[in-house]
Structure 1
Amino acid sequence: MSKSKLRGIQLSFSNTQKLRLEKALEQLESISSKLNSNATVIVADTIPVDEDAALKGHGTLDMGRNVIATVCGVVERVNKLVYVRSLRARYKPEIGDIIVGRVIEVAPKRWRLEINFSQDAVLMLSSMNLPDGIQRRRTAIDELNMRTIFVENDVICAEVRGFQNDGSLHLQARSQKYGKLENGKLLKIPPYLVKRRKQHFHHLDQYGVDLIFGCNGFIWVGEHVDVKDATVEDQVNKSDPQNTDSAILQGSSEEPTSTSLEIRQYICRIANAITVFAALGFMVNLEAVTETVTLSLSLNLGVHEMLEAEFHVQVAEQEVERRSKSTRRK
């Protein structure tokens, strides 16, 4: 038995498993190179540019008639813009990013969050929906009741609002889909394995689980929560002002509900699928996660068995088959 370390996970592979894994990774590299010929570059490589009017972006340097790469990564082209996307880069926030973070401090009129960035992010009291659901100015009572909304170690989903003059990163949570996340598990993977997409919120109906891919590499897997209609709540609160007052005083405190054993097992199974993908260095997306969970169920594996060496090899082999089919379709 030989031991290999895949992104922080120590696994014991047999010689056969090691050979199978190496073969699968070589096949994936071959498929990737065919799809993206001349896409992978290292420092000082020449990037082929067809048009004279091409715009040179991040990771490139104009050297006369040649465009030189200044970082290692993958060449990306958007219309006339040519840039190099760094591999294994740290998270770089962009306005509109969906992020998942953990509260580390409750300060006056703001919460400070850890978001896997070089500095902490700030969620202002004025930048989030209050429990009563009505858009209004924040009062001293709201500030006194901040701890009834979020406290230290709470996991929160929010959106990047922008950078302030002092360089701090500010968040906002003005939609019902944002806020506190409960009854689930927080995963931390390298942020470069999460691609920015139109949809980062997913409901896996067959498992009763919600899945949130944070652009910062924090992923939330938790029990499904129905998002309430804010418009209906506003109408109810306006018709009965007492509801508003009681909501302010009570915050978001509700009776804790227990998660069924079946859903907890699905949460752990999905979390393990993401852990395996991240360990292998594969991009994490909804299709890959669901196929990995389906594979574990078809093999009748226990949740803990998904983290063993054999399943890592099987996932790599499945990814080769999936990408091969995708290539043939194109």
Structure 2
Amino acid sequence: MTTMLRELRLSLNQTQRVRLQSALQRLQDMASLASAVTVVADTIPVNHEDSILKGHGTSDLNGEVVATLCGVVERVNKLVYVRAQRARYKPEVGDIIVGRVIEIAPKRWRLEINFSQDAVLMLSSMNLPDGIQRRRTAVDELNMRSIFEENDVICAEVRGFQHDGSLHLQARSQKYGKLERGMLLTVPAYLVKRRKQHFHHLENYGVDLILGCNGFIWVGEHVNSNGENDMMVDQENREGLVNKSEVGQATYEVQEQITPLEIRKHVCRVANSVRLLCALGFSLTVEVIVDTVEASISSNTDIKDILAAEFYVQTAEREVQRRVSLTRRKG
């Protein structure tokens, strides 16, 4: 608990320190009761069951199942394994990820995705700007930079590992592609749990929130996916297919790039809420993030003060109340 307070690096007064220590201790106690937390060399009780399968993080010692790493004991039928609480990101097929382009190679883009190796997005694994399903040609390969270039932020889906060991992605849907007019946040991947939905439109704030399974989170201005692909419009503009005067075209591009001040404030408020929850070590779900945003608004907390000491303490205390209420409902 003391280590976590040091990691936060907050200027807490004595009262705030006591309140925060109390809240974090209660959260830790509730987490220990809710799950079987184990450390290295702990014996995992299996009630002398036959045909127990020892999975990751376990070993056999003198006929007993012992843990070989710290984490939470999980059971799936006969399989017993230990899930590390602070594990690195391990890609699975179907994961929604957010990445940054670091290289353009022949017929592929190479992306940084917060993994031990870079990922590859093949030209053949994404929709072309014209929206037509066809074979990729040499012209398409020459125009790759007009689609994605270095440092562009992209949302994609994990397709799987290839025979050469490389991780391949795909972006064959309008919800995938280039992300603009927002900010990219990096958090530990273990804080983002795999769920059915990782794309969220926060209608009250006009903000899109993408929780990448790899720990990259995108917060940006909402983009309408009504069939009019932004990449398609950009490509048409480059090829001169849109008949506008030069002045009109320049005005059009400026209007497209400007994000209203109110939306920018909402983006910053959501981003600071994510940073706060990450610093406290809370799992990042859309419900918790929205609750934190609404709490900051209802308490008239400025955007910058979301990361101040008092709001840290209030957030920890609010999480204690939320978990206590959940426990009572289950009881």
TM-score by length of 2: 0.89
SS at match of 1:76: strand
Q: Give the match for residue 30 of structure 1.
A: 29
* Secondary structure of the structure 2 residue equivalent to 1:284: coil
Structure 2 residue identity aligned to 1:190:
P
Question: 1:226 matched to which residue of 2?
Answer: 224
How far does residue 31 in structure 1 lie from its aligned partner after superposition? Answer: 1.3
Q: Residue 76 of structure 1: CA displacement? A: 1.7
| Change in 2 beyond 3 A, CA 1:228/1:103 | same
Per-residue deviation, 1:79: 3.2
Q: What residue is the counterpart of 2:190 in the other structure?
A: 192
CA spacing shift, 1:20–1:93, aligned 2, 3 Å:
same
Whole-Å separation in 1 of the counterparts to 2:6 and 2:105? 35
> What's the offset of the Cα at 1:52?
2.3
**Counterpart secondary structure, 1:112:** strand
Aligned position for 1:299: 299
- Deviations 1:60-84, CA, capped at 9 Å, x for gaps: 1233542111111111223333211
Give 2:166's aligned residue: 168
Conserved 8 A contact 1:184-1:220: yes
Does residue 46 of structure 1 match 2:46?
Answer: no
Write the deviation string for residues 21-70 of structure 1: whole angstroms up to 9, x where unpaired. Answer: 0000011011112222xx11111111122442333221112335421111
C-alpha distance in 2 between matches for 1:111 and 1:247: 23
User: Counterparts of 2:5 and 2:145 in 1: how far apart (Å)?
Assistant: 40
Who is 1:308 aligned against?
A: 308
Q: What residue is the counterpart of 1:288 in the other structure?
A: 288
1:317 aligns with 2:306: no
Confirm or deny that 1:215 pairs with 2:213. Answer: yes
Is the counterpart of residue 257 in structure 1 residue 260 in structure 2? no
Partner SS, residue 12 of structure 1: coil
Deviation at 1:9, TM superposition (A): 4.9
Instruction: Select which of 105, 110, 113 maps to 1:112.
Output: 110
Q: Which has the larger share of strand?
A: 1
| Residue ranges of structure 1 left out of the alignment (5+ in a row) | 238-242
Report how far residue 248 of structure 1 moved.
Answer: 9.5
Deviation at 1:184, TM superposition (A): 0.7
Distance in 2 of aligned mates of 1:6 and 1:16:
14
Percentage of identical aligned residues: 66
Residue identity matched to 1:176: Q
- Supply the distance in 1 between the matched residues of 2:22 and 2:196 (Cα, whole angstroms): 34
Larger deviation, residues 178-187 vs 255-264: 255-264
Q: Measure the CA separation in 2 of the matches of 1:294 and 1:229.
A: 32
Alpha-carbon distance in structure 2 between the residues aligned to 1:250 and 1:29? 60
Distance 1:202 1:122, change over 3 A: same
Contact preservation (8 Å) 1:145, 1:249? no
Match of 1:90, SS state, is: coil
Q: 1:320 to 1:5 in 2, by over 3 A?
A: closer
Aligned-partner Cα distance in 1 for 2:306–2:59 = 45
Q: In structure 2, give the amino acid aligned to 1:89.
A: A
8 Å CA contact retained: 1:6, 1:280: no
Letter in 2 for 1:219: I
Query: In structure 1, how many angstroms separate the alpha carbons of the residues matched to 2:62 and 2:193?
Result: 33
**Distance verdict in 2 for CA 1:161–1:250, change over 3 Å:** farther
Letter in 2 for 1:41: T
Deviations 1:187-219 (A, max 9, x none): 000111111111111111111111110011000
CA distance in 1, matches of 2:3, 2:11: 6
What TM-score, normalized by structure 1, do the two folds share?
A: 0.89
**3-state DSSP class of the match of 1:320?**
helix
CA–CA distance in structure 2, aligned partners of residues 4 and 45 of structure 1: 23
The one-letter code sitting in structure 1 at the alignment partner of 2:32 is: S
In 2, distance between residues paired with 1:95 and 1:199?
A: 15
Query: Following the alignment from structure 1 to structure 2, what is the Cα–Cα distance between the partners of residues 7 and 265?
Result: 30
Give the distance between the partners of 2:21 and 2:8, measured in 1 at CA.
Answer: 17
3-state SS, counterpart of residue 93 of structure 1: coil
Instruction: Name the counterpart of 1:81.
Output: 79
Aligned equivalents of 1:292, 1:7: Cα separation in 2: 23
1:132 partnered with 2:130: yes
**Contact 1:4 1:12 survives alignment (8 Å):** no
C-alpha separation between the residues in 1 aligned to 2:199 and 2:297? 23
In structure 2, the partner of 1:240 is: none
Corresponding letter in the other structure for 1:43: V
Query: What is the number of equivalent residue pairs in this alignment?
Result: 314
What SS class does the counterpart of residue 302 from structure 1 fall into? coil
- Which structure's relative contact order is higher, taking Cα pairs within 8 Å and 6+ residues apart? 1
Separation in structure 2 between the aligned mates of residue 250 and residue 216 of structure 1, nearest angstrom: 38
SS at match of 1:226: coil
2: CA distance between counterparts of 1:55 and 1:219? Answer: 36
